[in-house]
Structure 1
């Protein structure tokens, strides 16, 4: 009987430690908004500074299927990166570059590539160490004006 209790206790302890470890990871899924295909379904995200983040851009369920990406930017850089993204419309290699402006690399915290309709991409990263409001956006031409949000990084 004692061995049985120890076994159950070991299983319970292992299970709890696994859950506690998973609780440290912020798991986020973003997809196009069902009513507005040029918007994300979430416009506000919250994570803790330095937290591990697993973000999936799931480009499914849109009434107007289009490619999308996800760029997390440094605070205050939304408009500057958006203008650079708009300028990529004239770049014949824009699609191959996932419409991610090379000139904006220093302002990008993390990004996905361009995700085609009915596909997804998952990225894993560590949230910025500095608390603040970090904008995110899709840089497919013209999308950033509506397809954007804010990741609140708190202490």
Structure 2
């Protein structure tokens, strides 16, 4: 009986740690224009979702910059095109673009940034995608943010 209770305690602690980890997510991108994950899953009960992007490459932000931008899936193309027009001085994200739910700055190799998304900005039943707005990257660097 004692061993059974101990196993339940260990499982409970593991699940509790897993649930809190669902609010703090991390992803990497390198010089190869690729995210390390094509989906991120956050707990639906999170008040705020924090996403940390780490640029694991060596190249500077002006050569192969990486960012993490979140928008409704239907808005990807427009956000990316308007970001291209905004230029590198705005991290390839148009200032004041209401379609952008969250965005990290454009990072160079070895840099890291964290962005917070209030849960209230994410609507049930809506599809959300993250992508990099560095020119041309959004075509291949993208993934889905899902709530569970």
Q: Distance in 1 between matches of 2:113 and 2:43?
A: 22
Say which SS state the counterpart of residue 83 (structure 2) adopts.
helix
Provide the rounded CA distance (Å) in 1 between the counterparts of 2:108 and 2:34.
15
**1:110 aligned to 99, 102, 106, which one?**
102
* Contact 2:27 2:36 survives alignment (8 Å): yes
Structure 1: gaps of 5 or more residues: 1-15, 89-93
Q: Distance in 2 between matches of 1:138 and 1:84?
A: 13
Structure showing greater radius of gyration is 1
| CA RMSD in angstroms, aligned pairs only | 2.8
Q: Deviation digits for residues 57-76 of structure 1, max 9, x if unmatched?
A: 10014689721111100241
TM-score under structure 2 length normalisation:
0.72
Q: Does the CA-based 8 Å contact 1:37-1:63 persist in structure 2?
A: no
**Does the 8 Å CA contact 2:69/2:101 hold for their aligned counterparts?**
yes
- Give the 3 Å change call, closer, same or farther, for CA 68–137 of structure 1 in structure 2: same
Match of 2:44 among 28, 46, 49: 49
Q: Contact 2:38–2:142 (CA<8 Å) still a contact in 1? A: yes
Counterpart residue number, 1:121: 113
Pairing 1:1-155 to 2, within 5 Å after superposition: 23=20, 25-32=22-29, 37-49=32-44, 51=46, 52-61=48-57, 66-88=64-86, 94-102=87-95, 105-127=97-119, 128-154=122-148
Structure 2 unaligned residues grouped into runs of 5+: 1-12
Task: Please tell me whether the aligned partners of residues 98 and 114 of structure 1 are also in contact (alpha carbons under 8 angstroms).
Answer: yes
